[in-house]
Amino acid sequence: MDTAFIIIVITAIILAVVLRLMVRSFRQRQEEREKNESLDRSEEAPPLEMTAPMAVSTSSETETQLKGVEKDPLLESATPIAEVFPSKGQSVAAREVQVEISHISKSFGGNAVVKDVSFTLEQGEVFGLVGPNGAGKTTTIRMLMDIIKPDSGEIRLFGRSLEEDIKNRIGYLPEERGLYRKMRVSDSLIYLASLKDVETTVAKDRAEELLRQVDMYPHKDKKINELSRGMGQIIQFLVTIAHNPDLIVLDEPFAGLDPVNRQLLKIIVLELKEQGKTIILSTHMMNEVEEMCDRILMIDRGHMVLYGNLAEIKWRYRNNSVFVECDGAIGELEGVSGMKEHGNYVELFIDDETPPQKILSQLVESNIQVNRFEVSTPSLNEIFLQVVKR
Domain count of the fold of the chain? 3
Residue whose C-alpha is closest to residue 337's, from 317, 316, 322: 322
Same domain assignment for residues 296 and 375 = no
Could you tell me if residue 255 is inside a domain?
yes
Could you tell me if residue 268 is inside a domain?
yes
pLDDT at site 337: 82
Contact present, 290 and 123 (Cβ < 8 Å): no
What is the span of the domain harbouring residue 341?
Answer: 318-387
pLDDT at site 91: 41
Same domain assignment for residues 240 and 337 = no
Q: Which residues of 332-359 are buried (b: 16+ CB within 10 A; e: fewer)?
A: ebebbeeeeeeeebbebebeeebebeeb
Same domain assignment for residues 268 and 379 = no
pLDDT at site 81: 30
> Length of the chain, please?
390
Same domain assignment for residues 108 and 253 = yes
Same domain assignment for residues 209 and 352 = no
Residue that is last in its domain, among 255, 280, 314: 314
Same domain assignment for residues 327 and 291 = no
Same domain assignment for residues 327 and 347 = yes
Same domain assignment for residues 115 and 264 = yes
Same domain assignment for residues 302 and 153 = yes
Same domain assignment for residues 17 and 142 = no
Same domain assignment for residues 284 and 328 = no
Task: Provide block-wise average pLDDT over 10 residues at a time, the chain (390 residues).
Answer: 68 68 60 52 40 34 37 37 35 72 94 94 94 90 94 93 87 85 92 91 93 91 89 91 94 87 91 94 87 92 92 83 84 84 84 85 87 83 80
Same domain assignment for residues 210 and 298 = yes
Could you tell me if residue 55 is inside a domain?
no
DSSP three-state, residue 128: strand
Could you tell me if residue 358 is inside a domain?
yes
Q: What is the CATH number of the domain that holds 355?
A: 3.30.70
Could you tell me if residue 44 is inside a domain?
no
